[in-house]
Copies of this chain bind each other. A is one copy, B any other.
Amino acid sequence: MLAATVARFMPPQESAHERLRAYLHQTRLLGSISSTLYYDQNTVMPAEGAPWRGEQLALLAGQLHERQTCDAYADLLAEAEAELAVAEQVASQTGAMPQQRRNLLLLREELDRERCVDPNLVSRLAKAQARGYACWQEARSSSEFERFAPALQELIQLRREQAAQLAAGAARGGADGAGAGRSCWETLAQRFEPGISKARLQELFDPLRRRLPELLAMVAERRGAPPPPWELAEAQQERLCHDLLIGWGWDGARCQRSRSPHPFSCTLGPGDFRITTRVVKGLPLSSFLATAHEWGHSLYEQGLPRSGDHWFPWPLGDATSMGVHESQSLFWECRVARSEAFARRWQPRFAEALGSDPWAREGRGSAHGFWRALNPLSPGLNRVEADELSYCLHIVLRWELEIALLEEDLPVAELPVRWNRRMGELLGRIPASDAEGCLQDVHWSEGLFGYFPSYALGHLISAQLAEAMEHEIGSIEQRVATGDEAELRRWLAGRVWPLGRSVDAEELVRQVSGRPLTAAPFLDHLEAKLERLLA
């Protein structure tokens, strides 16, 4: 009797959809708190703050993991799925609410993935990652691969176990069973590039593997002597970065700029974006190009859909893949800031910043000289410093080695030899030490396998989207020549950013460009650019 009375006076129950939204909203709050700590750590935190910061982050990671895997959440998601199924029946057709359907599908995939991994393995992995990172730092500073090898071996073993558990979970019937039949590497790469396969990457990378070394050889013959080293005062670099951003729509009320040891971009809230850069001695264009790059990431984040069933907090408003994210940063860095028109327009500003120092201005006194400075074209040992011409070969190298380690039983001890040999074949350079070679990247120290190809996909996607853009609004170079980059931004804001996670990377490219992703637009762009650059 009492229960009935109470029920009668209860407000109408919130829908499962609304409760799920509130739940996800809180998850996002926690995630963004963690990102804020990360940002602080990488910009201003004093060194001795590190151990405590580690504990803070671990506490939040634990809370986040719990929220994302607990039964209460699983029940809530199941309720929302059932509710949507009923609503769709009422609407008499499946797919009547495609956005909600897709949101729930993405959430279901993530939940199943999280829950099919043994918590014991998760904790062993976390420990192995911490150990791996520490060993890698030591090994790199002394260039002794053997100090890292055992930790790497352990990480490989644990990632294999993780992939096996994920594959078994998918076979038991993840959302659509699509995960069944994936190889170890493929399974691990799904986090970064949903739907990716080795066969597809083979198809995309083969033209790069064939053509890029030829282009490198051609360039080596024609590029002439390298320009003399030059330098730009820190305050001048800072001012140029600022001017660049102002011209590209930066708004201090939404985006904060800082310094950090490695440039990055992050989103700390629906109206709170951050980008960082660094000033590198001897690399006077580094902070400028990094600013262009990170601002490209941030523009994408700022342009993701934010209303209705989107961010914050639904997955539909997230970036769809690391490759697409990278395509947005590379567009602004390579297609715009490294373009001839851009060099022509900015050369006077750089000349002014250099002041009257004749030595420093040598070789950059002309627009063409400055364009050459923006595109060094000399293959180096280091991935991070590579330009458009050699970057993808660095990725191909890492991708091949990851598969060899994870799936083809390449002994860890042989990694340095294999690295150096393949580096010679692809880029014509052989590292003098492992620090310059297979120890240069942080990724493997934390067992991050499957991530690298996204960087190369970024180049390919950027080029294919740029081609589509030119098809619709005309020459990018001409827009840049007249300082009309706002038009480029408007196109991306209309055609690319609002897609969020409604489609995967391949489908995004297909929708926007009208055909499947290939390496052709990237190689065409590169060859045309090299022709003019070497003229």
Interface residues of A (CB under 8 A from B): 26, 29-30, 32-33, 36-37, 39-40, 43-53, 55-56, 59-60, 252-256, 258, 268-274, 312
Contacts and interface: CB of A to CB of B under 8 A. Distances in A.
B256 A48 contact: no
Q: Find the residue from A26, A49, A254 having the highest chain B CB count within 10 A.
A: A49
Contact of A272 (B33, B52, B258): B52
A56 B40 CA distance: 16
A42 to B, nearest CB: 12
Q: 8 nearest interchain CB pairs?
A: A49-B272, A52-B269, A48-B271, A47-B253, A48-B254, A44-B256, A46-B256, A29-B59
20 contacts: A26-B59, A29-B52, A29-B55, A29-B56, A30-B59, A33-B56, A33-B59, A33-B60, A36-B37, A36-B56, A46-B252, A46-B256, A46-B271, A46-B273, A47-B254, A49-B269, A49-B272, A52-B268, A52-B271, A52-B272
**How many copies of this chain does the complex contain?**
2
Nearest to A33: B56
A106 to B, nearest CB: 22
A269 B55 CA distance: 10
Contacts of A46: 252-256, 271-273
Contacts of A37: 33, 36
Nearest to A63: B63
A274 B312 CA distance: 31
Given A37-B33, A271-B52, A256 B45 contact: yes
Nearest to A273: B46
Contacts of A48: 253-254, 271-272
A394 to B, nearest CB: 33
A43 B45 CA distance: 13
Nearest to A50: B271
Contacts of A271: 46, 48-52
Contact of A33 (B33, B39, B270): B33
